[in-house]
Amino acid sequence: MDGYLRRKTFDILARWGSLAMVLVALVPLIAVLGYLVMKGAGGLSWAFFTQLPKPVGEVGGGMANALTGSAILVGLACLIGLPVGILGGIYLAEFGDNAFGKVVRFCADVMSGVPSIAVGIFVYGLVVLSMRRFSALAGAIALAILMQPIVMRTTEELLRLVPMTLREAGLALGLPKWRVILGVVLRTGASGIATGIMLAIARVAGETAPLLFTAFGSRFISLKLDQPMGSLPVQIYTYAVSPYEDWHRQAWAAALVLVGLVLALNLLARVLTRQPGQGR
Amino acid sequence: MNTLTLPSPTAFRTSVTDESVLDEAGHAESTLQVTAGTKIRAEDVNAWFGKAHVLKDISLDIAERRATALIGPSGCGKSTFIRCLNRLHEVVPGARYKGRILLDGEDIYHRALDPVLLRRRVGMVFQRPNPFPTLSIRDNVLAGWKLAGQRPKDPDGLVERSLRQAALWDEVKDVLNRSGSSLSGGQQQRLCIARALALEPEVLLMDEPCSALDPIATAKVEELIHELKERYTIVIVTHSMQQAARVSDFTAFLYLGELVEFNTTEAIFTRPANQRTEDYITGRFG
């Protein structure tokens, strides 16, 4: 075989080989989405979004409790986790070029790899046991702990992408450093940071393990933060392992809603990353 | 305005204590009647990046409302020197500074002096155009005010005046709300000049302002420098000797962190006193 044929053969093998693997990778993705739509779409109805769960045996009812619960839990987690994450990221990007910064960065990377159930147990021990009850607050803290390292590292990385020349331009205009950070650096990195936040939210919105023994779950719409609160993932878990056919149907529908939500957040993140259009 | 001939034997101090240089400077004084006050006086300025000693005992006077060019091969310290003039040198990690720089007789490194206020008096244009990408053209011009949380008295007038001074107004007056990064490189650089001028500084530092521009844009910026020096004290760092010859009144030649020669541009380019200056401007090295 001469050199040309050998190169050509290798090229074709490598190219088609990698295409084949891409298709294999796509199979579970499409299968999950397709299966969810197939099983879940039937359970979706107006009542699913607006009604509370009916007692066992009664057909119908919805997941309004879990939907509002998830919204509150994730919202509260954002309130706790975002300021810590964003400010921490600013510190690392602007002042973190030292040994301490390295340690924090390493810890954050380890933290984002910690299994979520471990975080759940930690918060159970720290918050639930000392409050002597499951609570929305405990759930939100668990989610915030999961969110924070992701937000911190994305914020840092995006701020580092902002060119040094822009910081110098700001300083040369007689802006104090904090104004340069807020008005120039943060603003330039804002769309990227927003994307990171969306992805972090998407990640924690689907977490079940850390909520099982923190927020626990509730069959009612509750706004009390010191009381147990329902959430989509926990409700899916509870319904899926139950023996009732109707609950299974609802679990599928809830799973579909959850995936739709994550998809929507990802799409939103994409839109946000798009550079501000010319002529705006 | 006090009348002082620059460089005069008293004002003219370089690290090179070469008799012929001083003689030559005295000679320049008698033939060139230049009337200008001293805006900035640098005395024994030294600067370091970590262990690297990049500026060694630089002393020179910068004339008011004149353009002073700093030339020299890469790494000779010319950019570092002008970054000392607005205290931007010190924001680089590991950077150190020693010496005295007087702006209108006032020590700019005095503890009581806020570098933030200094930088409003001493504006700067950088090597690469760096408009703020998230701001419109108009907001870029006003950035020095708006991002500081201040509002100029007549923002629209200020935007127009600054853009006119930067010779950009006619090209952008209908698209002021477009992003600053939608402009061409040369336009972006003039936008950056307008942004610096909007703060009405006294001194304008230009760090190789044309090195990223094409010849036409370069010609525009050079023409602009000619107009600007009627109102501002300009210090320009340039790689191009032709550019220094075209735009400046005074030229300082730096080599390996030392000030080799400082004189009127005409003298530097027609009868350099130092052999190294002559070698550099005739293209024998650099």
Q: Which residue, chain included where needed, has tokens 């924090």?
A: A104
Chain B residues inside the 8 Å CB shell of A190: 134
d(C-alpha A31, C-alpha A35), whole Å: 6
d(CA A69, CA A67): 5
Nearest-CB residue to A187 (from B118, B120, B134) = B134
pLDDT bin (cut points 50, 70, 90) of residue B286 is: low
A5 is a domain residue: no
- Is position A76 within any domain? yes
Residues of B in contact with A180 (CB under 8 A): 147
pLDDT of residue B283: 85
Confidence of residue A53 (pLDDT cuts 50, 70, 90): confident
Window from A51-60, A109-118, A267-276, B81-90 with minimum mean pLDDT: A267-276
Q: Three-state SS across chain A?
A: CCHHHHHHHHHHHHHHHHHHHHHHHHHHHHHHHHHHHHHHHHHCCHHHHHCCECCCCCCCECCHHHHHHHHHHHHHHHHHHHHHHHHHHHHHHHHCCCHHHHHHHHHHHHHCCCCHHHHHHHHHHHHHHHHCCCCHHHHHHHHHHHHHHHHHHHHHHHHHHCCHHHHHHHHHCCCCHHHHHHHHHHHHHHHHHHHHHHHHHHHHHCCCHHHHCCCCCCCCCCCCCCCCCCCHHHHHHHHHCCCCHHHHHHHHHHHHHHHHHHHHHHHHHHHHHCCCCCCC
Q: Which of B92, B121, B122, B132 to mutate to test the interface with A (most CBs of A within 10 A)?
A: B132
SS3 B204: strand
Q: In whole angstroms, how far apart are CA B148 and each of B123, B196, B245?
A: 15, 14, 37
The answer to whether residue B25 scores a pLDDT higher than 50 is no
How far apart, in whole angstroms, are the C-alpha atoms of residue A106 and residue A102? 6
- Residue B222: is its pLDDT beyond 80? yes
**From A220-234, B122-136, B185-199, the region with the lowest mean pLDDT:** A220-234
**Chain A environment of B203 (Cβ under 8 Å):** none
Domain span holding position A71 = 47-278
What whole-number distance in Å separates Cα of residue B214 and Cα of residue B219? Answer: 9
Report the pLDDT averaged over residues A130-135: 92
Contact at 8 Å (CB) between B129 and B212? yes
* pLDDT in the model for residue B145: 94
The pLDDT-based confidence of A1 (bands split at 50, 70, 90) is low
Task: Check: CB of residue B176 under 8 Å from CB of residue B159.
Answer: yes
Residue A235 falls inside a structural domain: yes
Mean pLDDT of B213-242: 91
**DSSP three-state, residue B185:** helix
Distance CA B58, CA B48 (A): 13
Residue A272 has pLDDT above 80, yes or no: no
Q: What is the pLDDT of residue B12?
A: 41
**Quick check: B45 and B225 in contact, CB under 8 A?**
no
pLDDT band, residue A275 (cuts 50/70/90):
low
Closest residue in chain A to residue B117, using alpha carbons only: A174
Say whether pLDDT at A279 is over 50. no
In terms of pLDDT, which residue wins out, B15 or A160? A160
The pLDDT assigned to B58 comes to: 94
Average pLDDT over residues A67-79: 94
Per-residue exposure over B153-162, b if at least 16 CB sit within 10 Å of its own CB, e if not: eebeebbbbb
Q: What pLDDT does B130 receive?
A: 94
- At residue A276, the pLDDT reads 52
Two tokens at A132? 């002597």
**Of B126, B134, B147, which is closest to A276 when you measure between CB atoms?**
B134
Q: Phi and psi for A145 in degrees, rounded to 5?
A: -65, -35
- Mean pLDDT over residues B147-154, rounded? 92
- Give the span between the Cα atoms of A197 and A186, in whole angstroms: 14
* DSSP tally for chain B: helices H, then strands E: 12, 10
Q: How far is CA B89 from the centre of its chain?
A: 14
Reported residue count of chain B is 286
Residue B194 in tokens: 């307008």
**Pairing status of strand B233-237 against strand B67-71:** parallel
Query: Quick one: pLDDT at residue A77?
Result: 95
In a domain, A146, yes or no: yes
Do the chains contact at A184 and B147, CB–CB below 8 Å? yes
Question: Each residue of B34-85: pLDDT tens digit?
Answer: 456 899 999 999 999 999 999 999 999 999 999 999 999 988 999 999 999 9
Question: pTM score, two decimals?
Answer: 0.80
pLDDT above 80 (res A278): no
CB-CB: which of A173, A188, A280 is closest to B119?
A: A173
Q: What is the CATH number of the domain that holds A242?
A: 1.10.3720.10
Query: Is residue B16 within 8 Å of B272, Cβ to Cβ?
Result: no
The total number of structural domains that make up chain A: 1
Whether residue B4 is predicted with pLDDT greater than 80 in this model: the reply is no
Place of tokens 């690392």: A92
The pLDDT of residue A277:
44
Residue A212 maps to a domain: yes
Report the pLDDT value the prediction gives residue B36, as an integer from 0 to 100. 65
| SS3 call for B250 | strand
* Nearest Cβ partner for B88 among A97, A168, A184: A168
Mean pLDDT calculated for residue range A48-54: 87
Between B234 and A221, the more confident residue is B234
**Under 8 Å CB-to-CB from A74, ≥6 apart: which residues?**
A143, A201, A204, A205
Residue B19 scores a pLDDT above 60 = no
Residue B203's pLDDT is 96
Asked if residue A237 is part of any domain, the answer here is: yes
Return d(Cα A167, Cα A163) in angstroms, integer.
Answer: 7
- Tell me if B137 sits within 8 A of B180, measured CB to CB: yes
Chain B residues near residue A187 by CB distance under 8 angstroms: 132, 134
Q: Is residue A15 part of a domain?
A: no
Is A116 contained in some domain?
A: yes
